[in-house]
Amino acid sequence: MTIAPPVSAPLSDAFGRRIDYVRLSVTDRCDLRCRYCMSEAMSFLPRQAILSLEELAELAGAFVARGVKRIRLTGGEPLVRRGIDDLARAIGRHLGHGLDELTLTTNATRLADHAAALADAGVRRINVSLDSRDPDRFRHITRTGDVAEVLAGIAAGKAAGLAIKINMVALKGVNEDEIAPMLRWCGEQGFDLTLIETMPLGVVEEDRTDRYLPLDAVRRDLERDFTLIPDIHRTGGPARYAKVSQTGGRIGFITPLTHNFCDGCNRLRVTVEGRLTMCLGHDDHVDLKQALREGGRDALDAAIDTALRLKPERHHFRIAGRGAAPAVTRHMSVTGG
């Protein structure tokens, strides 16, 4: 099957930012319940409300035709979606025909069953969310998780030839003592590490004020033991990287609260129900599902163009006072990570 190269107008927003990266959520469901991300008693979308695998693949093709170079499959946990390997293969057919990279973010609990198929579909690197390697602490953070399953999934991904980056949310009073050991372990394994500030998305049982750990302070602490050299390496996302002299690896910092990075935003997010969210920090969206089902490609292109005109200049995340409502009402699992 021959895939035509991009032919439609490339994506650019009202602030002149070129959009070439789409994060495509395939499910809002997850087999973990991380305390900073989800409520313990989550309710999920009914099956009839979400896009089919065929519609997700069609959306991906439409974005490639508009000049999108990178697509990341997200969730929830994407590997709980039945048929995820087939979807990866369908989107992977665009690689070399407009699409430069297909990636995936996962908690790795099911990665052992999918790593080989993902690699065969053209996935070359993945992000794995891992906030602790301690079994008891991991179970506390995730409420239900077994870190042994995650580590087995990571090992399977490595064996399948996937480049792995560990994403670790820095949580004050929870895992701050594991950041330096995680950095050393990643160096030993040949993985990069990215640290992420907790984000005020969705109502959760814990107060995020108690858990917010500014990464500029974390970096200063790390620099007592590690030599961090600024690195121009980019993966398409908002992380800013440094080379770690002692390990030979990289560490990235995603700082939505301490250092706004919106001036270089190149991303759009599509939820599994077909809502194109122009910014993680805003509730506004454009309905692509209706355009896809009722109007075809022309309507889809028009809806995408509307979203680009509405894409805001920046988010306004902040950790407000104790008990304050989150900046955005939807959970990250609904948006797609």
pTM comes to 0.87
Q: What's 78's domain CATH number?
A: 3.20.20.70
Residue 5 resides in a domain: no
Annotated binding-site members for GTP: 23, 72, 105, 165, 267-269
C-alpha distances out from residue 273 to 19, 108, 166, 176, 334, Å: 21, 23, 28, 35, 9
Higher pLDDT, 4 or 228: 228
* pLDDT number for residue 256: 73
Residue 186 resides in a domain: yes
Residue 243 resides in a domain: yes
Question: How far is residue 318 CA from its own chain's centroid?
Answer: 20
Which of 103, 128, 97 has the alpha carbon at shortest distance from 7? 97
Average pLDDT, the chain: 87
Residue 2 resides in a domain: no
Annotated binding-site members for [4Fe-4S] cluster: 30, 34, 37, 262, 265, 279
Tell me the residue type at 21: Y
Q: DSSP H helical segments within 145-281, as ranges? A: 147-159, 179-189, 215-222
* pLDDT number for residue 2: 45
Mean pLDDT along residues 235-239 = 77
CB-CB contact of 101 with 131 (8 Å): no
Residue 311 resides in a domain: yes
Residue 1 resides in a domain: no
Which residue is associated with the tokens 């409300």?
49
Record the tokens describing residue 311, joined without a space. 């894409």
Residue 296 resides in a domain: yes
Classify 88 as helix, strand or coil: helix
pLDDT digits (tens, 9 = 90+) for 161-183: 999 999 999 999 999 999 999 99
Total domain count, the chain: 1
Positive or negative, the CA dihedral 261, 265, 270, 275 is positive
Which of 149, 155, 154 has the alpha carbon at shortest distance from 109? 149
Specify the length of the chain in residues.
337
Annotated binding-site members for S-adenosyl-L-methionine: 36, 76, 129, 199
Give the domain extent around 117: 11-335
Record the tokens describing residue 109, joined without a space. 């609990």
